[in-house]
């Protein structure tokens, strides 16, 4: 009776395993970094959100008490309302400002590179430095902005001292630093096919009709991206209001969600409570992003579609 000889592994299989090991070895630093600085903190924050945890003592599991306490926390709702109102006005204002600047800077005139650089530079200023500068500019008595308004006969408000004007002041600062979004819109404008404008000109379209029927539809994917990023950024705003007023004054009108989360985690040492707040914000951001994507399905036009 013949005995089959053992089958040796093929050279191709051995090479494939060696290449796999080599690839994993090169990816190992990233895997370690991802696990240590992203995956583990993410998983730990889920567990801590169900615990009474102060960092100084071991966490104690308390179930959903943190989430129930948040629903009864008046300051939680105040900070959430302030953040929602700011995002409601800041996202449209910054989007409109960035698109307008991109349209103006898309012209073919001499010195355009210098104009583009001038409007982009504010977005490179560190947020803390920018907040300090605007704190002086928005001063109700001696600020530069009110001084300019006074020269044209307008009495400026106490921007950072009046609850009715504190959020508009923050929106104004946000609209001043839209350089990154402006550059993305500018790149999108330069990708619009010229033949579409030529066809619109042959049909006798006005500037407004070209903008409404050609420019904005072709720019819609870029607008969707920037709007989603703007929503995420507005809901996570922290540095500007914290530098302008770490306590959220006047009358807590500048006390935003991330500021309350920061205070709970590092001032009151209620890390479990802060983790619960973080996951609630995560759910809100995911829900708003999904809503924006669904509402945009009929209004966003991709190339070739």
pLDDT digits (tens, 9 = 90+) for 97-147: 999 999 999 988 888 989 999 999 999 999 999 999 999 999 888 889 999
Over residues 192-242, the pLDDT tens digits come to 888 988 898 888 889 999 999 999 999 999 999 999 999 999 999 999 999
- Assess if residue 37 is contained within a domain: no
Task: Tell me whether residue 55 is in a domain.
Answer: no
| Strands 60-61 and 51-52, bridge-based pairing | antiparallel
50 is a domain residue: no
Structural domain count, the chain: 1
Beta bridge partner(s), residue 61: 51
Q: Which residues span the domain enclosing 209?
A: 74-295
Asked whether the beta carbons of 97 and 274 are under 8 A apart, the reply is no
Q: Is 9 a domain residue?
A: no
Residue 119 CA: distances (Å) to CA of 93, 123, 193, 222: 16, 8, 25, 19
Q: How far apart are CA 138 and CA 291, in angstroms?
A: 35
pTM for this model (two decimals): 0.88
Nearest to 264 by CA among 124, 115, 55: 55
């Amino acid at each position: 009776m013949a005995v089959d000889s053992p089958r040796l592994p093929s050279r191709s299989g051995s090479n494939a395993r060696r290449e796999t090991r080599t690839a994993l070895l090169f990816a190992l630093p990233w895997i370690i970094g991802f696990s240590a600085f992203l995956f583990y903190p993410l998983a730990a924050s889920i567990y801590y959100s169900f615990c009474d945890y102060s960092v100084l003592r071991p966490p104690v599991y308390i179930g959903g008490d943190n989430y129930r306490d948040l629903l009864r926390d008046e300051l939680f709702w105040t900070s959430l309302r302030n953040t929602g109102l700011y995002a409601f006005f800041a996202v449209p204002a910054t989007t409109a400002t960035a698109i307008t600047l991109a349209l103006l800077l898309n012209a073919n005139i001499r010195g355009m590179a210098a104009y583009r650089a001038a409007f982009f530079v504010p977005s490179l200023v560190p947020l803390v430095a920018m907040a300090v500068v605007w704190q002086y500019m928005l001063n109700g008595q001696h600020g530069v902005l009110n001084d300019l308004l006074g020269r044209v006969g307008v009495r400026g408000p106490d921007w950072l001292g009046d609850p009715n004007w504190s959020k508009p002041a923050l929106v104004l600062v946000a609209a001043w630093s839209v350089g990154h979004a402006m550059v993305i819109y500018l790149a999108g404008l330069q990708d619009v096919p010229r033949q579409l404008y030529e066809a619109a000109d042959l049909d006798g379209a006005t500037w407004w009709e070209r903008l409404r029927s050609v420019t904005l539809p072709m720019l819609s994917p870029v607008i969707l991206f920037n709007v989603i990023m703007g929503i995420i950024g507005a809901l996570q705003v922290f540095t500007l209001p914290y530098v302008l007023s770490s306590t959220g004054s006047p009358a807590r009108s500048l006390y935003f969600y991330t500021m309350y989360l920061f205070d709970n985690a590092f001032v009151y040492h209620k890390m479990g409570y802060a983790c619960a707040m973080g996951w609630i914000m995560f759910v809100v951001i995911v829900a708003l992003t999904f809503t924006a994507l669904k509402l945009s399905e009929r209004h966003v036009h991709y190339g070739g579609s």
